[in-house]
Structure 1
Amino acid sequence: MQLNVERGAPATGKTTRLRQIAKADGQSEQEILVGRHCTPDALAHSVRWLAGQGANVICIDECSEEQIALLQGLQRRLPGNLTIHAVVAN
């Protein structure tokens, strides 16, 4: 699994770029996970479920640093062809 994390100040285009990545992968905006809507464990569960369903790209907006750390810990347990794009607002 590859984890691409984009960090930065609010209103600098991070979410717009994430939406473009999702669209290029054929995902709707509703398929983008939102970190602030779930606990770190719930986010990890969603990522594992999507990977199990064959997702190659997962986009996550508004992640916390705790969620990023948990995703980093999952790297070895997820498929090698999976790419996660995550946005963290500072």
Structure 2
Amino acid sequence: MQLNVERGAPATGKTIRLRQIAQADGQRERQILVGRHSTTDALELSVWRLADRGANVICIDECSEEQIARLQVLQRRLPGNLTIHAVVAN
């Protein structure tokens, strides 16, 4: 699994770029996961479910640093063809 994390100040275009990535993969905006709407455990479960369904790209907006740390741990156990794009607002 490849994990791409974009960090930066609010209103710098991170979410817009994330939406463009999702759209290029054929995803609708509502398919983007939102970290602040989930606990770290719930976000991990959502990622596992999408990976089990064969997702190649997962987009996550508004992640916490704790959630990013969990994704980094998962990196070794998720499929190699999976790419996760995650945004963290500083």
Q: TM-score range by the shorter chain?
A: over 0.9
- 2:77 is matched with 77
Q: Tell me, in whole angstroms, the C-alpha distance in 1 between the residues paired with 2:85 and 2:9.
A: 17
In structure 2, list runs of 5 or more residues that go unmatched.
none
Asked if residue 21 in structure 1 is aligned to residue 26 in structure 2, the reply is no
* Superposed displacement of residue 27, structure 1: 0.1
- TM-score (norm. length: structure 1): 1.00
- 1:64 is matched with 64
Q: Tell me, in whole angstroms, the C-alpha distance in 2 between the residues paired with 1:18 and 1:76.
A: 23
- In the alignment, residue 2 of structure 1 is paired with which amino acid? Q
- In the alignment, residue 50 of structure 2 is paired with which amino acid? L
> What whole-Å deviation, never above 9, does each CA across 1:39-64 have from its counterpart, x for those lacking one?
00100000011000000000000000
- 2:86 is matched with 86
Q: Tell me, in whole angstroms, the C-alpha distance in 2 between the residues paired with 1:31 and 1:5.
A: 18
- Residue identity (%): 83
In structure 1, list runs of 5 or more residues that go unmatched.
none
* Superposed displacement of residue 67, structure 1: 0.1
* Superposed displacement of residue 22, structure 1: 0.1
* Superposed displacement of residue 88, structure 1: 0.0
* Superposed displacement of residue 6, structure 1: 0.1
Q: What is the count of residue pairs matched by the alignment?
A: 90
Runs of 4+ in 1 over 6 A off after TM superposition: none
- In the alignment, residue 53 of structure 1 is paired with which amino acid? R
Asked if residue 38 in structure 1 is aligned to residue 38 in structure 2, the reply is yes
> What whole-Å deviation, never above 9, does each CA across 1:5-42 have from its counterpart, x for those lacking one?
00000000000000000000000000000000000010
